[in-house]
């Protein structure tokens, strides 16, 4: 977890994810325990938590242990992957409407979609919350997603 090579400060990024989630939803991303860092708690969470940056073709910059397991990726591969490659292609109109809604509202919850692991395994993600990651000054830093429910697709 903290020994991962990353262009971002993972401890601060974990706090940024949690603070941004609370900013938009008014809820805690995960229950916090005293004596453990936000990063350690995200890593050990049963929730799937991932985020991407603000590049023209956004690159994943964080995924907890559940994310790495589900997408069948190691840390180095994850942090070189454009986020669009983790999903099946949405129709252009559907994708544009979804992204406009996240931008307008700051977050969208109850999203469902099909994703693809690095080995080609397809799975539905369910009841997903996607939110804009913003810092304490309101500067946009990317987007993140969290979910607990997924189901593998046969075939």
pLDDT digits (tens, 9 = 90+) for 31-82: 888 889 999 999 999 999 999 999 988 899 999 999 999 999 999 999 999 9
Instruction: Say if 1 falls within a structural domain.
Output: no
pLDDT-derived band at 91, boundaries 50, 70, 90: low
Instruction: Say if 102 falls within a structural domain.
Output: yes
Q: Does 117 score more than 50 pLDDT?
A: yes
CATH number for the domain harbouring residue 35: 3.30.450.20
- Mean pLDDT score of the chain, rounded to an integer? 90
How many domains does the chain contain in total? 1
Q: What local confidence, expressed as pLDDT, does residue 132 receive? A: 96
Among 41, 44, 37, 38, which residue's Cα sits nearest to residue 69?
44
**Residue range 121-143: average pLDDT?**
95
Instruction: Say if 101 falls within a structural domain.
Output: yes
Instruction: Say if 40 falls within a structural domain.
Output: yes
Among 19, 20, 8, which residue's Cα sits nearest to residue 132?
20
Domain of residue 90, residue span:
10-152
Q: Does 140 score more than 70 pLDDT?
A: yes
Instruction: Say if 122 falls within a structural domain.
Output: yes
**Residue range 125-148: average pLDDT?**
95
pLDDT-derived band at 6, boundaries 50, 70, 90: low
Interior angle at CA 25, CA 19 and CA 31, nearest 5: 60
Q: What local confidence, expressed as pLDDT, does residue 155 receive? A: 58
Q: Does 24 score more than 60 pLDDT?
A: yes
Instruction: Say if 5 falls within a structural domain.
Output: no
How confident is the model over 10-19, as pLDDT tens digits? 999 999 999 9
Instruction: Say if 50 falls within a structural domain.
Output: yes
Q: Which residues contact 26 (CB under 8 A, 6 or more apart)?
A: none
Instruction: Say if 136 falls within a structural domain.
Output: yes
């Amino acid at each position: 977890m903290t020994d991962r090579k990353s262009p971002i400060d993972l401890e601060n990024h974990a706090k940024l994810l949690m603070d941004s989630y609370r900013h938009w939803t008014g809820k805690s991303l995960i229950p916090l325990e005293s004596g453990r860092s936000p990063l350690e708690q995200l890593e050990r969470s049963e929730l799937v938590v991932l985020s991407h940056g603000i590049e023209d073709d956004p690159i994943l910059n964080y995924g907890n242990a559940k994310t790495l397991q589900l997408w069948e990726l190691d840390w180095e591969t994850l942090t070189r992957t454009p986020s669009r490659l983790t999903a099946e292609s949405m129709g252009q109109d559907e994708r544009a409407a979804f992204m406009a809604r996240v931008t307008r509202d700051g977050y969208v919850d109850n999203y469902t979609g099909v994703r693809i692991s690095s080995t080609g395994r397809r799975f539905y993600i369910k009841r997903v919350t996607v939110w804009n990651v913003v810092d304490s000054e309101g500067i946009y830093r990317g987007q993140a997603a969290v979910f607990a429910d997924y189901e593998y697709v046969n075939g």
